[in-house]
Each structure stands twice: as structure tokens, then as C-alpha cells.
């Protein structure tokens, strides 16, 4: 066990190191210039010498390996740098945006767990029944419909048509914060985010329940006179949960890393929206910060899930 933990930890660090290089590389090799983004059209009017000075101030004229070394050693010291655009500390910005993503993804996770477990277990226990076929069809629809389209449809129905729910933001602008108001804003993004994951989980649970219920030990338990309901709840579901928990760990961390599409559509102030903004602005430190932070969450999430299952 100790050895396993150690090897999984080392593995995680190696993966994070690679992520940091990829994050740095992608951001710096992508076309576009922070100076341009920062000053927009004005940059055309600038003299080349001025442009060079801006690049130097931002530290962009040095060789890439040197820049990487400087960045990563600061990160390891806990300093993720400052935004090119606003000059604010990246770490502070991440911490400001993280709660938004946390609220959104935990709501989505709750929806995923409760609905997919109920549907998947029921379908798996009654394989090839009408309910099973219906849930399979629905899962494939959920898997193939893109999240943004689904979001548009919901907005059309609930915001434009019925006018029941707001279509964007965290709270209504110009009002005092109220939980109820926030929940109303939360519903649609949480539904969209969970539905894009749900098809896979229904399939996953349904499949592993169907496999588990055919295991030899189920017959053995029946032969001991244990109630069917107890066999399902204690044994079949418990066995079927193992892959579910593993994947859920990964899904949760992916959602925590910020759901770019969902957050962007609903203007939900989370990490996903922050990275979209940073990418548009060529705000290298913020962008690298969000990518690295996401990496830590995803790698850490699967590490926790694996150790939990072991």
C-alpha cells in the first residue's frame, strides 16, 4: 500500500511537470502578441523600439527556456505572477473565481450522481426491458448533443419563451446578493453541465450493474437466503460503484478545472470563463495559471479517486 501511494504520487508529479511544460509551450507558441492585445489598435502607431520595450517589460524577449525556468521556479515558491492586463496577482484571481466553479460543479455532480445512479441501476437490473431501451436511447442523445446546443435550447425555452429563469451571470446585476437569486442563475448552467456528462454515467452504471448481477457470488448469496434487495444494495451496486467512483473523480476534477463552454455561455464567473478571457487577451500568466491549476485538480482528483478505491 505504501509503495503504491508513493508510486502514484511520483507519477502525479511527473504528469504535472509535463503539463506545466505543455501549458507554457502552447501559450507562448500560439499566435498573437500580448502587447498587441494590451494596447489594441494603438500598437500600429507605436515605434518598433516602443514595442520592444513593452515586450522587455513583460519579460517576453528572453529565450523561452529561461522564461519557463523563471516562471516555474516562482510558481514553486507560490508566486504565479501577475496579469498582463490588470496587473493583479494570478493566485488571487484564481481564488476569486474558484468558488463560482466549485458551486457550479458540485451542483452538477449532485445531479449526475443522483440521476445516473437511479436510472443506471434500474436499467442494469432490468436489462433489455422497455425502461432499459428508453434510458439507452436517452443516454446516446445526451452523449451526442453538444452542450452548447443544449444550452441554447434551454435558454430559448426557459429564458426567452417562458421567462422563468435568467440566462446569464451569477446574480442579478444591481440587486443585493440573495441565495434564491443565485440558485435561479445556477439552475441552467448546472443542468447543462451535468447533462453533458450524464449519458456516459448512465451507460457506465447500467453496464457494470448488468455485469455485477451475473457474477457467481450473486447466486451464492441467494443460496444463503439473503434478501434480493440486500443483494442489490450491498453487493451488486457496491461492485458496480468501483468504476463509477474512479470516473467520477476525474469528471469532478475536470468540472472543477472550469467548464469552459458552459461558463462562457451563461457568463458564469468561474475558472472556465477566466481562461477564455485570458486567452482572448493573450494574458500569458493568467492563462498558464489556469491551465496549471486545472492540471493540479485533474491529476489530484484521479489520484484521490484511485487511492480511495485501492
Would you say 124 or 272 has its CB closer to other proteins?
Answer: 124
Stretch that binds other proteins, among 15-23, 117-125, 195-203, 230-238 (CB under 8 A): 230-238
Residue 222 interacts with other proteins (CB under 8 A): yes or no: yes
DSSP string, 206-266: HHHHHHHTTSHHHHHHHHTT--HHHIIIIIIHHHHHHHHHHHHHHHHHHHHT--HHHHHHT
Closest approach, Cβ 194 to other proteins, in A, equals 27
Measured from the CB atom, the residue of 213 and 282 that comes closer to other proteins is 213
Nearer to other proteins, 6 or 217 (CB): 217
Closer residue to other proteins in complex, CB, 87/225 = 225
Residues 6+ apart with CB under 8 A from 160: 167
- How many chain residues bind other proteins (CB under 8 A)? 18
223: Cβ–Cβ under 8 A, 6 or more apart, which residues?
none
Rule CB under 8 A: is residue 225 a binding residue for other proteins?
yes
Site string for other proteins, 188-207 (x = CB under 8 A): --------------------
Half-sphere exposure of 63 (CA within 13 A, CB side): 3
Instruction: Kindly state the smallest distance separating residue 227's Cβ from other proteins, in Å.
Output: 7
Q: Is 215 in the site for other proteins (CB under 8 A)?
A: yes
For other proteins, which stretch binds (CB under 8 A), given 19-27, 34-42, 210-218, 275-283? 210-218
Terminal Cα distance for the chain, rounded: 8
Out of 97, 203, 206, 235, name the contact with other proteins by CB under 8 A.
235
For cell 435561479, name the residue: 184
By the rule CB under 8 A, 238 interacts with other proteins: yes
Q: Give the largest CA-CA distance in the chain.
A: 87
> Which residue among 234, 245, 267, 304 contacts other proteins (CB under 8 A)?
234
Give min distance, CB of 181 to other proteins, in A.
Answer: 44
Shorter beta-carbon distance to other proteins: residue 124 or 258? 124
Percent of residues in the chain assigned helix, strand, coil, to nearest 5:
75, 0, 20
Residue 219 Cβ vs other proteins, minimum distance, rounded to whole Å = 6
Q: Which of 110, 153, 157, 230 binds other proteins (CB under 8 A)?
A: 230
Asked whether position 239 contacts other proteins by CB under 8 A, the answer is: yes
Buried b / exposed e along 126-165 (16+ C-beta atoms within 10 A): eeeeeebeebbeebeebeeeebeebbeebbeebbeeeeeb
DSSP 89: B
Is-contact 253 297, C-beta < 8 A?
yes
Interface residues with other proteins (CB under 8 A)?
A: 215-217, 219-227, 230, 234-235, 238-239, 242
Amino acid at each position: 500500500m505504501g509503495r503504491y501511494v508513493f508510486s502514484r504520487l511520483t507519477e502525479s508529479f511527473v504528469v504535472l511537470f509535463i503539463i506545466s511544460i505543455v501549458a507554457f509551450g502552447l501559450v507562448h507558441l500560439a499566435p498573437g502578441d500580448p502587447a498587441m492585445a494590451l494596447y489594441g489598435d494603438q500598437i500600429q502607431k507605436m515605434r518598433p523600439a516602443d514595442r520592444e520595450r513593452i515586450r522587455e517589460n513583460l519579460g517576453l524577449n528572453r529565450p523561452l527556456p529561461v522564461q519557463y525556468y523563471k516562471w516555474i521556479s516562482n510558481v514553486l515558491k507560490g508566486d504565479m505572477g501577475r496579469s498582463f492586463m490588470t496587473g493583479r496577482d494570478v493566485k488571487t484571481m484564481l481564488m476569486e473565481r474558484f468558488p463560482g466553479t466549485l458551486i457550479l460543479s458540485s451542483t452538477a455532480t449532485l445531479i449526475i450522481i443522483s440521476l445516473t445512479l437511479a436510472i443506471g441501476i434500474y436499467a442494469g437490473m432490468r436489462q433489455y426491458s422497455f425502461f432499459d431501451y428508453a434510458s439507452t436511447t436517452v443516454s446516446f442523445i445526451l452523449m451526442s448533443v453538444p452542450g452548447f446546443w443544449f444550452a441554447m435550447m434551454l435558454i430559448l425555452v426557459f429564458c426567452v419563451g417562458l421567462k422563468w429563469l435568467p440566462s446569464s451571470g451569477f446574480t442579478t446585476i444591481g440587486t443585493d446578493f440573495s441565495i434564491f437569486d443565485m440558485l435561479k442563475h445556477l439552475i441552467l448552467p448546472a443542468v447543462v453541465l451535468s447533462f453533458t456528462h450524464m449519458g456516459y454515467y448512465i451507460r457506465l452504471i447500467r453496464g457494470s450493474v448488468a455485469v455485477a448481477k451475473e457474477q457467481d457470488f450473486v447466486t451464492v448469496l441467494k443460496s444463503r437466503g439473503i434478501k434480493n434487495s440486500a443483494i442489490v444494495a450491498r453487493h451488486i451496486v457496491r461492485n458496480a460503484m468501483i468504476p463509477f467512483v474512479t470516473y467520477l473523480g476525474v469528471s469532478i476534477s475536470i468540472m472543477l478545472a472550469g467548464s469552459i463552454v458552459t461558463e462562457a455561455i451563461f457568463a458564469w464567473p468561474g475558472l472556465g470563463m477566466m481562461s477564455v478571457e485570458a486567452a482572448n487577451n493573450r494574458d500569458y500568466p493568467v492563462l498558464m495559471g489556469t491551465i496549471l491549476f486545472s492540471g493540479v485538480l485533474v491529476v489530484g482528483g484521479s489520484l484521490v479517486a484511485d487511492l480511495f478505491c485501492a
